[in-house]
Structure 1
Amino acid sequence: MTSKHKIPHFALYGESNWIDDPEFFHIEAIESRSSDLGWKIKPHRHAQLFQILLLKSGKANIRIDDQQQNLLGSWAIMVPVGVVHSFQFAPDTDGRVITIAVPVIDDIDEATKRFIKPLLHQPSCISFNNQDSLLADLWPLIEQLEKELHRPHEGRGLMCRHLIHAILLQLARQQTISGEQNTTMSAQDQQIQSLKALIELHYKEHWSSDQYACALGMSISRLNRACKLILQQSVHDLIQSRLQLEAKRQLLYSRQTIEEIAYHLGFKDPGYFSRFFKKSTGYPPGRFRAASQQPIQ
């Protein structure tokens, strides 16, 4: 029985034991895992895994954190580490799920990593609809990765790494073509990515903006300028947004009490947490939870 204190963390969905293998990756058809579950994958997240869902055809209702979207046709869905996600697929949806261990991502060379970095840190849905030739370029890489997984050939691990890199590069290209975002990483982009990584480590400790600036070796005014230029937010806003996001996750996907969530997020006073949440969302935590307890259609 899953503890009420945690959103489920899985290695692969339904598998509670993390495979501690730095070479680990996995690829499977969407049908192979979801069809026995009524084509529905319940809310969960991965602590050490990055996932790519590739829909060749079919339909999917996806929920990532508190955002819901209906996808029809050909899509790539990027699910970074720690993001809560659930899926309801239409029967006979054709696609693949690629699961990649964090050490495999960390080992990507810096030039490649700079190019694909936006894919790794922000959930996104990348459309291939009406672009059959681009999907046709990508799909042979997917099929080759499937073959390599089941071949005991020498150099299999190295070949798989190259194929994963090529798949990520193709997806980064497609993201640019489809207008999702500009993947060129300026110095300020890199500073903001470093800030986000630090916030991920320390947001429950309620670090101040000055503490983050100090950790990055920057003045707070310079860091704020970069934040406002890239994200149209201050450092303080970014910190508050991350706390708000985790509060929403816990309210939506766990059975913790509001008091337990407050302490889990580093608030010493549950009353202050409730005021923080209402100020940032417009709703008290209890009302937000009650309004959100609806099944995904």
Structure 2
Amino acid sequence: MSDQSVPAYWLYGERRTDRFPDALHIETIVSRSTLHDWRIEPHRHQSLHQFFLIARGGGTARIDGVDHRLAPGTAVLMPPLHIHEFRFERGTDGFVASIAELGLRRLFDAEADAHNELMRPAVFGLGLDDAEYAELAGVMQAALTEFARNQGGREVALTAHAGLIALWFWRATRRARADSAPPRDGHAALVGRFIECVEADFRSHRPLEAYARRLGVSVPHLSRTCRETLGLSAVRVIHDRMMLEARRHLVYTSMPVSQIAFALGFSDPAYFSRFFAARAGVAPSDYRAAA
């Protein structure tokens, strides 16, 4: 299966239309999962953010080739383009809310860092007695009730509910990813710009100096800012993105390892295999066999 053959949907099983019809789409997990025998096959969304909350039951979510256990209280953030699939236990229920990319950008016009911080998948384990779970469950239930109505001001109400759901996940992301001390003003913005540059150029194997020059900062400053904000070195950010793409190809395509190496910008497949094994602990072929 080629990478292009992984289907891209608006909502799972529904091909893309001209525009997302509402500010927010929300449904119960059971309503769609029962139609597919509790198995949501590998897919991605081109321009759609999704937010999940498990209220009962559980299962497994595979996100970019990595498995995550789902249990009551699990919340999942799924940005566009990331390949994901679900294996739900029968009877699992909860909520899945969907917000179009353009709509999310508009919601966070006043928060420059929010969009970047919502562009990485995340899984949050909450207890059913946690205040954070009760808050999110209440917001999603209210949104579901409003979505089912056909009353005046529906789009205004759905926009407000979309903002509350996205805001909950943004705050949860900040809490989960924050260092012991918050980053200084401007650091998150620089890291966000760096991540965007890496996303565009990681296959070109540009040296860190090229990224720093493009961002108008020194290499030490960029590295220090990444460590303070993400807990990772700048080089690690680049390598992690390359590894993510390598895992996607190994799990979701049948491309030979040598072809994957060339697709990721490596001129020597043997060097790619060493690069991958040093970070994953296994050779690419062994990783594929175990996936």
- Distance in 2 between the 1:269 and 1:5 partners? 24
What runs of 5+ residues in structure 2 fail to find an aligned partner? none
Letter matched to residue 149 of structure 1: F
Is residue 52 from structure 1 mapped to residue 51 from structure 2 by the alignment? yes
Q: Give, in whole Å, the separation in 1 of the partners of 2:33 and 2:271.
A: 41
Amino acid at match of 1:104: G
Structure 2 counterparts to residues 126-165 of structure 1, below 5 A:
126-131=124-129, 133-165=131-163
Q: Percent identity?
A: 31
Matches of 1:140 and 1:230, distance apart in 2:
31
SS of 1:207's partner is coil
State the match for 1:181 in structure 2.
177
Partner of 1:16: 15
Shift in Å at residue 22 of structure 1?
A: 8.0
State the Cα RMSD in Å. Answer: 2.7
Give the distance between the partners of 2:92 and 2:83, measured in 1 at CA. 22
Give the secondary structure class of the aligned counterpart of 2:27: strand
Q: 2:193 is paired with a residue of what secondary structure?
A: helix
- TM normalised by structure 1 equals 0.84
Runs of 4+ in 1 over 6 A off after TM superposition: none
State the match for 2:63 in structure 1.
64
| Change over 3 Å in CA distance of 1:260–1:24 after alignment to 2 | farther
The match for 2:96 is 97
Structure 1 residue runs without a partner (length 5+):
293-297
Question: C-alpha separation between the residues in 1 aligned to 2:49 and 2:230?
Answer: 24
TM-score normalised by structure 2 residue count: 0.86
Contact 2:112 2:189 in 1 (8 A): no
Q: 2: distance between equivalents of 1:289 and 1:105?
A: 35
Relative distance call for 1:271 and 1:102 in structure 2 (3 A) is same
Structure 2 counterpart of 1:129, which letter?
G
**Change over 3 Å in CA distance of 1:287–1:192 after alignment to 2:** same
Shift of 1:5: 4.9
- One-letter amino acid of the counterpart of residue 166, structure 1: L
Preserved CA contact (<8 Å) 2:105 2:115: no
- Asked if the contact 1:114/1:185 (under 8 Å) is kept, the reply is no
- 1:80 maps to what in 2? 79
Give the Cα–Cα distance (whole angstroms) in 2 for the partners of residues 138 and 4 of structure 1. Answer: 34
Do the aligned residues in 1 keep the contact of 2:3 with 2:252 (CA within 8 Å)?
A: no
Matched residue, 1:121: 119
**SS of corresponding position for 1:125:** strand
Instruction: Give the corresponding residue for 2:236.
Output: 237
Contact 1:7 1:44 in 2 (8 A): yes
2:225 matches 1:226 = yes
* Whole-angstrom CA distance in 2 between matches of 1:56 and 1:182: 26
The answer as to whether partners of 1:5 and 1:255 remain within 8 angstroms in 2 is: no
In structure 2, the CA distance between the partners of 1:105 and 1:72, relative to structure 1 (3 Å rule), is same
What SS does the aligned partner of 2:177 have? Answer: coil
